[in-house]
Amino acid sequence: MKRSLSNVFVGLLLIVVAGCGFQLRGAATLPDSLQTMYIQGLSIKSGLGLELKRALIRNGVMVVNDYQSGSAVLTILENKSERRVLSVDRDAKVSEYEIHTSVKFSVSDDQGQVLSEAQQVEAQRDFQFDQNQVLGKDEEEQLLREQLNQQLVQSILRRLSVLK
């Protein structure tokens, strides 16, 4: 009896989830003119550049290391990351930081025509800081920066997917 009741509950739960329009995020559909891409203005060997390269490859884009004729060009015009003080405690020591990153980019197609003028994407996170746990907080900050890079890459891919 309990087993059949739990099966009915799971079945109803699946119907509700399917009915609400929930979908897993799929791959971004990029235009054909962006299927071969060169990234300039950013090293694709680490950090944001590596994350961007991996995401483009996952979405079926061939990322070339050197510019080739017939390649679209994603130009990173500006890549800024800063850490700001959000709050201080009664001893005038920092108790909370905000990490803010922004990337400005433009895209041109394989013919050299500008598909997108300069666009900017931003992401930010805040975290508590404890003077007694400096090493742990440095690791947390590094993890947050990686998450911000992933968020920026997803924003860039969404912007690329709407280009004609």
Q: What are phi and psi of 71, to 5 degrees?
A: -100, 140
Residue 133 lies in a domain: yes
Long-range contacts of 108-114 (CB under 8 A, 24+ apart): 108/72, 108/73, 108/75, 109/33, 109/34, 109/72, 110/33, 110/36, 110/69, 110/70, 110/71, 110/72
User: Domains in the chain: how many in total?
Assistant: 1
Q: What is the pLDDT of residue 21?
A: 63
CATH, residue 63: 3.30.160.150
Q: Are 39 and 53 in contact, with CB atoms under 8 Å apart? A: yes
When pLDDT is averaged across residues 68-78 and rounded to a whole number, the result is 91
Q: What is the pLDDT of residue 77?
A: 94
CA-based nearest residue to 61, from 79, 43, 69, 73: 73
Q: What is the pLDDT of residue 20?
A: 67
Q: What is the pLDDT of residue 24?
A: 52
When pLDDT is averaged across residues 58-70 and rounded to a whole number, the result is 89
Q: What is the pLDDT of residue 25?
A: 57
% of the chain exceeding 90 in pLDDT: 38
What confidence tens digit (pLDDT) does each residue in 120-136 have?
999 998 888 777 766 77
Residue 8 lies in a domain: no
State the pLDDT confidence band at 29, using cuts at 50, 70 and 90: confident
**Residue 132: domain span:** 28-161
Q: Are 38 and 68 in contact, with CB atoms under 8 Å apart? A: yes
